[in-house]
Amino acid sequence: MPEAAVNHYKADLRAIEFTLYEHLNVEQLFALEAFSHISRDECDAIIAQCHRFVNEVTGPLNGAADRAGCTLERGVCTTPAGFKDAWKKLFELGLMAFPMPVADGGLGGPHAIAVVLEELQSGANCAFNMYSGLTHGAADVISNFALPEDRARFLPPMVDGRFAGTMCLSEPHAGSDVGAAKTRARHLEGNVYAITGTKCWISAGDHDLAENIVHLVLARIEGAPTGTQGISLFIVPKIWVNEDGSLGGSNDVTTASIEHKLGIRASATAVLNFGENDGCRGILVGGKPHMGMKQMFRMMNGARIAVGVQGLSVASAAYLNALRYARERLQGSSVRQFKDPNAPRVPIIEHSDVRRMLVEMKAKVEGMRTLCVKVALHADLAHALHAVDEAKAIYHQGQVDLLTPIVKAYCADQAFRVAELAIQTYGGAGYVQDNPVEQYCRDAKIFSIYEGTNHIQALDLVARKLQQHGGENFTAFLTEIAEFVAAHSDKPGLGAEIRALGEASAALQRAAGSLMEFFMSGKIDQVTLVANPFLEVMADVAIAHLLLGAAVVADAKRTKDEDVDDDEPNRHEVDFYSGKVMAAKHFVNFVLPAVHAKVGAIVSGDRSALDMPDGGFSTAF
């Protein structure tokens, strides 16, 4: 019997509104020429429709789809019940068009708003959103790099949901090392090549949601240089698409298997064989050979932010479920009445330790959301100011580049940690399938692995992004924090925390100095040893800054608590703003101090992990 549909998803629309409009002033975008075709009213209407869609359609499918998973029988991959109908509704709604350029049939909406739409969709059903997310990523690459005739051939059906998309980088021997890819391309005619090879781990690699799947495949043209410079990118449809857009025959792409996974079980992860019968054709993207990595990087940068948003989404859903449960579950009595055996049972939210877990989750979730929206806003401003104020556009793009690995790695890690805390908050009830948090935890683990493992992100940060533009991006990041600290360090009620941010930022600078020393003295293995802790330090500083920024805004808006009594209609607005202040203070006092311990480890120059003899790990085998 099919499992009953229960929607566990809850979105925090008030918190989202605060981040967008009260804290980060996303509204500034609508005054700029590049976004003048859209208004806040329309964006709000779109968010409202998306919210309704995820609660009515995809949210209720999440649990049952996880249990059912995907199946592959006789080469045909089937998604869980309800996904086909949800896909149809998603494209009737037209969400895919939102961030796409107007020229390609999109709405050209701001990324800052797209982040919210993604949060709602991934939060309600992370696995389902993989299919549309990858379709969007692939369409974005085609929109940016493909020849006009290929854009016309592939984009309209990808925007209206007839075609889906994938990104095919990984191979059995080429995971983190994408340049080791062995898939080959042999020139046939014009921009058309014969493709042969095997790709693995391909998300949304096969399914029954769309008529056709457009694979973007990295392959090496015969005679090309080795390594990443020799890689080209091809559009390889599952079913060939004729020049007039009509469907041709099968393109010799077969699904060898799909994985059985820890999480996102309703997202089909496929092993794909291209050209087993020498009948697979691919179109060289943009007609330019050996440009594959550069082109794919565009998608990867977008996809890395998208993975960060996935982290935020699942974390937020886990937190709000834990909060709901903590308000309902009665257990134990208040510690303040420990002497009274007849003291009444209280909801667990009244216990200090449960509150500690909840506020930590809240701070991290809201910090992640602010970080994601802020980076998206930088991207929007870079785009909008491109022709108007080149220097500013460069600054904003620099912040996007610098913060992308942090968005990806921090949100990925914290999604898992928050989901784990959510399970802990529930106790035993969190460990079983009756409640959704065990699924959130399983779903969240993949975020730190795909799209470049978190260590690959950390390497990108320490080896490329810190030094980019002669280090100016990093300097601008630190300057913004220094200015914030200088402006608010005397603020009553928050001054101590704001000064603590200043100290953490100084520690971050010390760590960056150590990294430089390691580089200069040729201790590259020492740099990579501390790359992850360095990224974590920088992320904590960034999050503390954003949470305190929100707290300063909120503090100015809340009337003094004492002035509002419990029945006052304004009560929950006052509580909302107080919540922002408390979350920031808790984060600074309970989480941020770890920065100093990590910086201590980084600057110590300790090499034990490197000096460890291989046999020292264990002599068991």
Partner 1 sequence: MKILATVKRVPDPETSIKVKPDGSGIVADNIKWVVNPFDEIAVEESLRIKEKVAGSEVVLVSVGAKVAQEQLRTGLAMGADRAILVVAEDGLEPLAVARVLVKVIESEQPDLVVMGKQSIDDDSNAVGQMAAELLGWPQATFASKLELAGDQKTATVTREVDGGLETLSFPLPGIVTTDLRLNEPRYASLPGIMKARKKELKEIEVGALGVDVAPKARLVKMEPPPKRQAGKKVASVEELVHLLHTEAKVI
Ligand X SMILES: Cc1cc2nc3c(=O)[nH]c(=O)nc-3n(C[C@H](O)[C@H](O)[C@H](O)COP(=O)(O)OP(=O)(O)OC[C@H]3O[C@@H](n4cnc5c(N)ncnc54)[C@H](O)[C@@H]3O)c2cc1C
CB 306 within 8 A of CB 130: no
216 strand-pairing partners: 167, 235
Partner whose footprint covers residue 82, from partner 1, ligand X, none (CB < 5 to 8 Å by kind) = none
Q: Which residue type is seen at 114?
A: A
CB atoms within 10 A of CB 21: 13
Structure tokens at 301: 């940068």
Residue window 199-218: x/- pattern of binding to ligand X, with contact defined by CB under 6 A: --xxx---------------
Of 552-571, which residues contact partner 1 (CB under 8 A)?
A: 567-570
306 binds ligand X (CB under 6 A): no
Interacting residue with partner 1 among 42, 472, 503, 606 (CB under 8 A):
42
331 binds partner 1 (CB under 8 A): no
Cα distance between residue 154 and residue 161, in whole Å: 11
Of 75-114, which residues contact ligand X (CB under 6 A)?
A: none
Partner whose footprint covers residue 94, from ligand X, partner 1, none (CB < 5 to 8 Å by kind) = partner 1
Looking at residue 171, the DSSP 8-state letter turns out to be: B
Q: Using CB under 8 A, which of the segments 28-36, 40-48, 321-329, 599-607 binds partner 1?
A: 40-48
Partner whose footprint covers residue 41, from partner 1, ligand X, none (CB < 5 to 8 Å by kind) = partner 1
CB 536 within 8 A of CB 607: no
Cα distance between residue 176 and residue 312, in whole Å: 24
CB of 40 to partner 1, least distance (A): 12
Residue window 150-179: x/- pattern of binding to ligand X, with contact defined by CB under 6 A: ----------------xxxxx----xx---
Cα distance between residue 610 and residue 589, in whole Å: 33
Reply yes or no on whether 366 is catalytic: no
Q: In this complex, which beta carbon is closest to partner 1, that of residue 83 or of residue 240?
A: 83
Q: In this complex, which beta carbon is closest to partner 1, that of residue 83 or of residue 416?
A: 83
Interacting residue with partner 1 among 15, 38, 70, 202 (CB under 8 A):
38
H helix or E strand, kind and range, residue 367: helix 352-385
Cα distance between residue 362 and residue 342, in whole Å: 33
- How distant, in Å, are the alpha carbons of 141, 176, 214, 301, 562 from that of 137? 7, 19, 11, 10, 50
CB atoms within 10 A of CB 607: 12
Phi, psi of 279 (to 5 degrees): -120, 25
285 binds ligand X (CB under 6 A): no
CA angle (564, 19, 133) in 5-degree steps: 140
CB 407 within 8 A of CB 532: no
CB of 121 to ligand X, least distance (A): 17
573 binds partner 1 (CB under 8 A): yes
Half-sphere exposure of 435 (CA within 13 A, CB side): 25
Interacting residue with ligand X among 55, 78, 453, 489 (CB under 6 A):
453
CB atoms within 10 A of CB 518: 20
CB of 52 to partner 1, least distance (A): 7
Q: In this complex, which beta carbon is closest to ligand X, that of residue 67 or of residue 336?
A: 67
Q: In this complex, which beta carbon is closest to partner 1, that of residue 95 or of residue 530?
A: 95
Of 260-279, which residues contact ligand X (CB under 6 A)?
A: 261, 269
Q: Which residue type is seen at 500?
A: A
Q: Using CB under 6 A, which of the segments 83-91, 232-240, 452-460, 612-620 binds ligand X?
A: 452-460
Of 55-94, which residues contact partner 1 (CB under 8 A)?
A: 89, 92-94
CB 53 within 8 A of CB 90: yes
CB of 535 to ligand X, least distance (A): 13
CB 587 within 8 A of CB 496: no
| DSSP E strand boundaries for 129-280 | 163-168, 184-189, 192-203, 212-221, 231-237, 239-241, 247-250, 253-258, 269-274
Q: How far is CA 89 from the centre of its chain?
A: 24
Interacting residue with partner 1 among 107, 423, 539, 542 (CB under 8 A):
107
Q: Using CB under 8 A, which of the segments 37-45, 229-237, 486-494, 536-544 binds partner 1?
A: 37-45
45 binds partner 1 (CB under 8 A): yes
CB 261 within 8 A of CB 250: no
Which member of 259, 366, 451, 536 is catalytic? 451
- Residues designated as active site: 451
Residues that bind partner 1 (CB under 8 A): 13, 38-39, 41-42, 45-46, 49, 52-53, 89, 92-95, 97-98, 107, 567-570, 572-573
Residues that bind ligand X (CB under 6 A): 166-170, 175-176, 201-203, 261, 269, 446, 449-450, 452-453, 455
